[in-house]
């Protein structure tokens, strides 16, 4: 007969209920998946873009002016001097041939020109090596 009042202590295992935690984790996961948006990488056509007055400045050097305007055929083209250029690659090539790029380039954009072409003209100047590109609204 057992006289001691001491009860045989049974090993107790502490069980953590995972259900509520998984609920919360799933909720958070679904929230983040649903709200996530993948941002497209953006860059800038740089800070050297200066706003110039429409008339421009008188300079002893002939400035490089790229116009985005309607060509003889009715479509929008890049005008470099009297030459009408219809592709950005050709414009970049032509601009690269200018020996002095220190004076910068001017991009004159008419109101009805597609903005896609305005950006292309600025990019062509930058790619050709002109450090300063001035945007001239027409």
Partner 1 sequence: MRLTKHKRKTLGGMNMTPMIDIVFLLLIFFITVTQITKINKERMELAKQKGSIDQKPTNLTINITQDGAVVISGREMTVPELIVQVGKELQRVGDDPSLITVSIRADQRGDSSSVNEVVSALENLNIKKVMIAVEVPQE
Footprint on this chain of partner 1 (rule: CB under 8 A): 18, 22, 25-26, 28-29, 32-33, 35-37, 39-47, 49-53, 68, 109-116, 118-120, 122-123, 126-127, 135, 137-138
Cβ pair 136, 111 in contact under 8 A: no
Distant-in-sequence, close-in-space partners of 120: CB < 8 Å, separation ≥ 6: 78, 88, 91
Which CB atom, from 9 or from 47, has the smaller least distance to partner 1? 47
CA dist., res. 112 & res. 47, Å (int): 24
Q: Minimum distance between the CB of residue 105 and partner 1, rounded to whole angstroms? A: 13
Cβ pair 91, 117 in contact under 8 A: no
Which CB atom, from 44 or from 57, has the smaller least distance to partner 1? 44
Which CB atom, from 90 or from 123, has the smaller least distance to partner 1? 123
Structure tokens at 66: 């790229």
Q: Minimum distance between the CB of residue 15 and partner 1, rounded to whole angstroms? A: 13
């Amino acid at each position: 007969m057992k006289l001691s009042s001491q009860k045989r202590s049974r090993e107790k295992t502490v069980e953590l209920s995972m259900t509520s935690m998984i609920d919360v984790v799933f909720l958070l996961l679904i929230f983040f998946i649903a709200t996530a948006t993948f941002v497209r990488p953006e860059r800038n056509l740089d800070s050297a873009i200066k706003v110039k007055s429409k008339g421009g400045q008188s300079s002893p050097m002939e400035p490089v002016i790229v116009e985005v305007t309607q060509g003889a055929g009715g479509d929008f083209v890049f005008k470099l001097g009297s030459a009408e250029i219809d592709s950005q690659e050709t414009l970049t090539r032509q601009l690269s041939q200018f020996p002095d790029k220190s004076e910068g380039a001017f991009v004159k954009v008419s109101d009805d020109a597609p903005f896609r072409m305005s950006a292309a003209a600025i990019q062509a100047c930058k790619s050709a090596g002109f450090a300063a590109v001035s945007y001239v609204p027409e």
